[in-house]
Amino acid sequence: MRAAGVSDEAIEDVVAVASTFHIIDRLADAFGFERADEAGYAAAAKVLLRQGYAFPQLVWRLS
């Protein structure tokens, strides 16, 4: 990747993102999570459009 001009920082970012996804995927499998149906995706889309990816204020107040 370095030969293609990718910086060390970018490589670290890719490894961090891929590792996090891998851990979350394995946890979801271990706990038996299932994919949302169309109604679930629609509800999640409404939340994302309303607040983006920011944590709800309640989460910040509890920490």
pTM for this predicted structure: 0.56
Structural domain spans, the chain: 2-62
C-alpha distances (whole Å) from 52 to each of 11, 23, 34, 45 are: 27, 23, 23, 9
Secondary element (H or E) of residue 8 = helix 8-30
The confidence score (pLDDT) of residue 61 equals: 61
The one-digit pLDDT tens for each residue of the chain (63 residues) are: 889 999 999 999 999 999 999 999 999 999 999 989 999 999 999 989 988 887 766 655 655
Q: What's the pLDDT score for residue 2? A: 86
Q: What is the pLDDT of residue 60?
A: 59
> What DSSP letter does each residue of 48-63 carry, written as one string?
HHHHTTSPPHHHHHH-
Q: How far is CA 49 from CA 1, 12, 45, 53, in A?
A: 35, 30, 6, 9
